[in-house]
Structure 1
Amino acid sequence: MNSNRRTFLKKTGIVVGSALITPTVHSFGIINKPILSENIIGHGEFRYKVHKAWGNLDPSTTPVNNCHEMVMDSKGRLIMSTDEPKNNIIIYDKSGKLLNSWTLNFNSAHGLSIFNEGGTDVLFITDPNSGSVVKTTTDGKVLMKLKHPKDIGIYTEKDRFSPTETAIAPNGDIYVADGYGSQYIIQYSAKGDYIRHFGGSGDKDDQFSTAHGVTIDTRDPNNITLMCTSRAHNSFKRFSLDGNYLSSIFLPGAYVCRAVMDDDIMYSGVCWSRLRYLNQTPNSGFITILNKDNKVISNPGGTAPVYENGKLKLMVQESTLFNHCHDVCIDNDKNIYVCQWNAHKTYPIKLERV
């Protein structure tokens, strides 16, 4: 959508917003709320029209189990990872048309990152069940497989390695999040040589509880850092590129997946929120959006962010649109594409910025 239309809608946002939102009923933290009328969700300047069938394909030829993650390549194609062995990778154009699919025969293909290497896009894919982290071309040729932590002597035989995500630094260094395993972030060189690891399981500031994601945060080009997920802590934790803990962003109620950077805005899928008795609740996902100061400014599918005395209050699901938002991808028009886990084998949803 062009900027003129967004400017017009921003000017009329109060009228539009008041016409769209219906009362919410809270009972012991349960929210009984239908999908917003006219399929508009979000808050402030970050509102979106829902295109629920955008990514639908023929399941008999291009099935999905869980749609895990999505990235956009330099050609504007939308590349998605799935844990369906028949097609670990599905490639769409922006209209939702299938362009290609291929597989590495992984039964749990999960993390998907993209890096422009000397003018060529390459992918990094994690498979938690097999403990694999591979670098490939965009058409599926394997270029490199990272060494297992046990093979380089940093894990014992008792330590579990179940990698969920990668992030690639500007110099090509590879950071692997062992989010379903031993909760470390492991740093390799661009050639795949081990450099260091940090984190581990625990409740200290520099430790993780479900280190599900890792992202290079380049929003301040003079201070490039790592934004690491600690999902069960409802937090992002910032580290230096050499593994020193810097700060935490607490997002109460939001079991966030990886952080996705676009300009100076940070987005994330929220896989669960806390509802009755503040427990982690199934089918309670939404999207959270933070500004350059790491303050939440919109929660499409969730309750509006509220700060009191500088502290963010509990955020929970508001509409019934999403099950478990696992990842988001942002295109050049600032539209969001949402991949979901455990969502009845549904395809990605498009949120069109208005």
Structure 2
Amino acid sequence: MNAKPKADGEIIGHGSHRYRVQQSWGKLDASKFPVNNCHEMVQDSQGRLIMVGDEVKNNILIYDRSGKLLDSWGHDFPGGHGLTLWNANGEEFLFICDPNLGKVFKTDLKGKVLLTIEHPSKVGAYEEKMAFKPTETAIGPDGTIYIADGYGSQWVLRYSMKGEYIDKFGGPGDADHQFATAHGVAIDTRDKANPTVLVTSRVHNSFKRFTLDGKYLSTIFLPGAFVCRPVIKQDTLYAGVCWSRLRYLNQTPNSGFVTILDKNNKVISNPGGTKPEYKNGELQLMVQEKSLFMHCHDVCIDQDENIYICQWNAQKTYPVKLERV
């Protein structure tokens, strides 16, 4: 299956959220700026698009919105996976998760490491034999650091902004408050008076909502969609879908798309996927409709609501842009 769309300019998506595919937007000279897996992307206050990957020749690639490379750095993250931007009263920081190293790093925008969070056994939160393979972070309104141990022991751990351990919630299992691949975490600020924590439970095809101190509230079930992290932009929730359930309803390789939810958490568009359908208030199975993408690992949304897609296991392709139309 070809990782690239059939042609630039194809229009995909549904309803009010339709997009023109720009397949060559982020393409660079692979001999100078190689990528392996393009994992995640964020946009800073200057409008720069910062991407993390697991190629140690340049873990971080920084683009402008035209797709021009502005900067690159990072050689120390062999599993470079999660990337979160924290704007602390005008000063911006990055949080990089490396599940291969089992560490979370806080850096400045130039890559200087300012804080390292290591295996939770060092603070009594885990037993030494427990796996710690962090995949994502989110920063709460008070600076609390939430770490999703998505490839490890399936807990979300809370640390103070100084890196002091607070507590953890979740754990592995099929109960409402538990996770099966807690791949992503984000602070949902759409209800300004009541911010909450959204955690991906990817094998459950779900986002699970918690209070800021880790009490389970509800589940957003997205049948068929193995979603990655939730990305909030104004009143809308976006997510890359890494796989969908195609043949025999199994997790199917090369079956990714993007899903978009409104402020009421109703799916309104699936670029690259089937049109969302509700019957008696229940969302029906969503799967890939066109083989435009392989595994959509993350999305970044700019100020014009264009979408930039980072893909995992996609023949070393660079990010793809979906221009809002």
TM-score interval for Structure 1 and Structure 2 normalised by the shorter chain: over 0.9
- What does residue 132 of structure 1 align with? 103
CA distance in 1, matches of 2:273, 2:252: 14
- What does residue 19 of structure 2 align with? 48
Map 1:94-243 → 2, pairs under 5 A: 94-243=65-214
Deviation string 1:30-53 (CA, Å, 9 cap, x unpaired) is xxxx95995000000000000000
CA distance in 2, matches of 1:186, 1:127: 15
Matched, 1:324 2:300: no
Deviation string 1:53-82 (CA, Å, 9 cap, x unpaired) is 000000001000000000000000000000
Deviation string 1:283-316 (CA, Å, 9 cap, x unpaired) is 0000000000000000000000000000000000
TM-score (norm 2): 0.97
- What does residue 315 of structure 1 align with? 286
Q: Check conservation: 2:21, 2:323, Cα contact below 8 A.
A: yes
- Aligned partner of 2:125: which letter? I
Equivalent position SS for 1:170:
coil
> What's the CA shift for 1:146?
1.5
- Aligned partner of 2:294: which letter? N
Identify which of 34, 59, 67 aligns with 2:38: 67
Q: Which runs of 4+ in 1 moved over 6 A?
A: none
CA distance in 2, matches of 1:331, 1:286: 18
Q: Check conservation: 1:147, 1:192, Cα contact below 8 A.
A: no
TM-score (norm 1): 0.89
Equivalent position SS for 1:249:
strand
CA distance in 2, matches of 1:180, 1:264: 29
- Aligned partner of 1:143: which letter? L
- What does residue 10 of structure 1 align with? none
Number of equivalent positions: 321
CA distance in 2, matches of 1:97, 1:231: 33
- Aligned partner of 1:271: which letter? C
Bigger proportion of residues as helix: 1
CA distance in 2, matches of 1:92, 1:36: 23
CA distance in 2, matches of 1:312, 1:321: 23
CA separation of 1:35/1:319 partners in 2, compared to 1, >3 Å: closer, same or farther? farther
- What does residue 263 of structure 1 align with? 234
Deviation string 1:178-211 (CA, Å, 9 cap, x unpaired) is 0000000000001111111010000000000000
Q: Check conservation: 1:283, 1:324, Cα contact below 8 A.
A: yes
| 151-160 vs 292-301, greater mean Cα deviation | 151-160
- Aligned partner of 1:89: which letter? I
- Aligned partner of 2:47: which letter? G
> What's the CA shift for 1:118?
2.7
Q: Check conservation: 1:287, 1:299, Cα contact below 8 A.
A: yes
Equivalent position SS for 1:150:
helix
Matched, 1:305 2:276: yes
* Aligned alpha-carbon RMSD (Å): 1.1
Equivalent position SS for 2:97:
strand
Equivalent position SS for 2:203:
helix
- What does residue 47 of structure 2 align with? 76
From the CA coordinates, give the structure whose radius of gyration is larger: 1
- Aligned partner of 1:339: which letter? C
> What's the CA shift for 1:104?
4.1
> What's the CA shift for 1:119?
1.1
Gaps of 5+ in 1: 1-33
- Aligned partner of 1:313: which letter? Q
CA distance in 1, matches of 2:8, 2:24: 17
CA distance in 2, matches of 1:298, 1:35: 20
Equivalent position SS for 1:338:
strand
Equivalent position SS for 1:232:
helix
> What's the CA shift for 1:147?
3.6
Q: Check conservation: 1:197, 1:243, Cα contact below 8 A.
A: yes
